[in-house]
Amino acid sequence: MPSHAVVTGGASGIGAATCAALLDAGWAVTSLDLRPSADGRARSAVADVTDAAGLADAIADAAAEGRGIQALVCAAGVSGSALGDGPVDTVSAAAFDAVVGVNLRGAFLTVGAAWPHLAAAGGAAVVTVSSVLGLTGGGGPFRSHAYITAKGGLLSFTKALAAYGRPAGVRANCVAPGVVRTPFAQRVSDDPALLAYVTAKQPLTGGPIDPGDIGGLIAFLVGPDSRAITGQTIAADGAGGSTPKDGANDVAPDPGHP
């Protein structure tokens, strides 16, 4: 039986690209999402990462019939701007709770439900999907403070998992992408000024990153070639974190507070 990975948010974007990369590498994959996966090679489990009881049932079912869980990828997420996120002095408590509920609490609940299966697997791996904004704190047009808080929280959560998982051989790493070409970030392509900003800030990719680049990185991090790597956050941002900080690439902030 092939090694089995569970990918939350597997029906679209980075999650779907991760499912494809893992399937291509010979893994069996369960996509756990609000919608079924469009990839007929993957097993689909419809679940909400904010529903603790339903999530626990979905994880148990995914691991049943001898499948177990050898890898867990927490890629489920939601756009802050879609829920009314913005600067700290404008965002509501309800919007903060909604954004953090999916992006941070959802990962926490998912790992908690899957942990017994991961610990029993021997050599299992967890990858959380943060954002380069969790590393940099944002700036320019990116001022979704609840989203940045949630994605920053994933960095510390992943380090805690790496320390906790060491005795059982469970590795945990985090990927922090820049702007990726997904439905999640469609507003970037729709806004010429924002697209120009991202293109300048991500010179290695000349704009939004292909989701397959992130999926391939995640597949590496759960695979045997990364067996010596744990507790790390890897920025995959097209050099966005290493471009000059002198404001030369800045554009006028988006009044919609993305």
pLDDT at 255: 37
CA 127, 128, 133, 136 dihedral sign is negative
Q: Which of 96, 115, 142, 147 is catalytic?
A: 147
- Residue 249 in any domain: the answer is no
Task: List CB contacts of 24: < 8 A, sequence separation 6 or more.
Answer: 219
Angle between helices 106-121 and 145-165 (to 10 degrees): 20
| 197 catalytic per annotation | no
- DSSP one-letter code for 96: H
How far is residue 104's CA from residue 155's CA, in Å, rounded to a whole number? 10
pLDDT at 242: 61
Question: pTM higher than 0.95 for the full model?
Answer: no
Task: List CB contacts of 257: < 8 A, sequence separation 6 or more.
Answer: 81, 85, 86, 87, 90, 143, 144
3-class SS at 48? coil
pLDDT at 190: 84
What string of pLDDT tens digits covers the 258 residues of the chain? 899 999 999 999 999 999 999 999 999 999 999 999 999 999 999 999 999 999 999 999 999 999 999 999 999 999 887 788 899 999 999 999 999 999 999 999 999 999 999 999 999 999 999 999 999 998 888 889 999 999 999 999 999 999 999 999 999 999 999 999 887 777 787 889 889 999 999 999 999 999 999 999 999 999 999 999 999 999 999 998 765 554 444 443 333 433
Domain that holds residue 44: 4-234
- Residue 251 in any domain: the answer is no
- DSSP one-letter code for 139: B
- Residue 253 in any domain: the answer is no
- Residue 13 in any domain: the answer is yes
Counted domains in the chain: 1
- Residue 131 in any domain: the answer is yes
pLDDT at 243: 56
